[in-house]
C-alpha cells in the first residue's frame, strides 16, 4: 500500500511540474492559445537590417505589438514587414514607422508615430511612411577611413 502512495505522489508532482513548464513556455514564448487580441498591418522598408520576427513595436516608449514576419516584395524591391498591434491601439494612415536601436549596439525594434490627421488604418492596411535603420558600422567605417566630407 505504501508503494502506491509514493507512486501517486511522484505522479502528481510530475504532472504539476509539466504543467508549470507548459505555462512558462506559453508565457515566455508569447504564444496565444485562446485567441489573439491584435490585428495585422504592413510596412514597406528599403532595408530591415537587424530587425527580426518577434522584435518589439513601441509607440511613445510603450510596447504595443511585435513584428510577425519579414518578406520581400520583388516588384517594388522593398522589404515588407507584417506587424501585429494590440486591438486597443489605433494607427492612422499618416503614421510613420521607423526601425531604431535599443542603446548603442542593442536589438532593433520598430517605433511607430501613430499619426492622427488621416483616416484610421484597417486590419491588413499598409503604413506608407517608413524610415530604415541607420547603419552604425557603415558610419563608423566612413569616419575611420576618411569618407566623411567636412563642410
Question: For 105, how many CA atoms within 13 A lie in the half-sphere containing its CB?
Answer: 2
pLDDT, tens only, 2-36 = 667 888 888 899 999 999 888 887 777 666 544 56
In a domain, 140, yes or no: no
pLDDT score recorded for residue 34? 45
Residue 55's CATH number: 2.40.30
Q: Is residue 116 scored above 60 in pLDDT?
A: yes
Mean pLDDT of the chain: 83
Average pLDDT over residues 38-44: 91
Q: How confident is the model at residue 102 (pLDDT cuts 50, 70, 90)?
A: confident
Any domain includes 115: yes
Do 96 and 45 have their domain in common? yes
Of 107, 62, 57, 117, which Cα lies nearest the Cα of 81? 57
**Do residues 25 and 48 both lie within one domain?**
no
Whether 93 is covered by a domain: the verdict is: yes
One domain for residues 122 and 51? yes
What b/e sequence results for 117-126 when a residue is b if at least 16 CB atoms lie within 10 Å of its CB, and e otherwise? eeeebeeebe
Range of the domain at 116: 38-135
- Would you state the cell numbers that stand for residue 8, as one nine-digit string? 501517486
- Do 73 and 92 fall into the same domain? yes
Q: Residue 145 falls within a domain, yes or no?
A: no
pLDDT digits (tens, 9 = 90+) for 56-85: 999 998 999 999 999 998 898 999 999 999
**19 and 47 assigned to the same domain:** no
Same domain, 92 and 131: yes
pTM assigned to the model: 0.69
* β-bridge pairing 108-113 and 56-59: parallel
Alpha helices in 1-150, H assignment, sequence order: 2-28, 136-144
* 72/10 same-domain check: no
41 pLDDT higher than 80: yes
Highest mean pLDDT among 111-115, 131-135, 139-143: 111-115
Judgement on whether residues 25 and 42 belong to the same structural domain of the protein: no
Number of domains comprising the chain: 2
pLDDT at res. 147: 63
Amino acid at each position: 500500500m505504501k508503494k502506491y502512495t509514493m507512486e501517486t505522489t511522484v505522479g502528481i508532482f510530475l504532472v504539476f511540474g509539466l504543467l508549470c513548464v507548459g505555462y512558462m513556455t506559453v508565457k515566455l514564448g508569447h504564444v496565444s492559445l485562446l485567441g489573439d487580441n491584435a490585428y495585422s498591418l504592413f510596412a514597406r522598408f528599403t532595408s530591415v537590417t537587424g530587425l527580426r520576427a518577434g522584435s518589439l513595436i513601441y509607440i511613445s516608449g510603450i510596447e504595443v505589438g511585435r513584428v510577425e514576419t519579414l518578406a520581400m516584395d520583388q516588384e517594388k524591391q522593398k522589404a515588407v514587414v507584417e506587424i501585429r498591434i494590440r486591438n486597443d491601439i489605433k494607427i492612422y494612415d499618416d503614421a510613420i514607422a521607423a526601425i531604431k536601436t535599443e542603446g548603442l549596439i542593442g536589438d532593433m525594434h520598430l517605433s511607430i508615430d501613430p499619426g492622427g490627421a488621416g483616416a484610421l488604418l484597417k486590419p491588413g492596411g499598409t503604413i506608407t511612411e517608413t524610415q530604415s535603420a541607420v547603419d552604425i558600422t557603415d558610419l563608423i567605417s566612413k569616419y575611420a577611413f576618411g569618407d566623411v566630407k567636412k563642410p
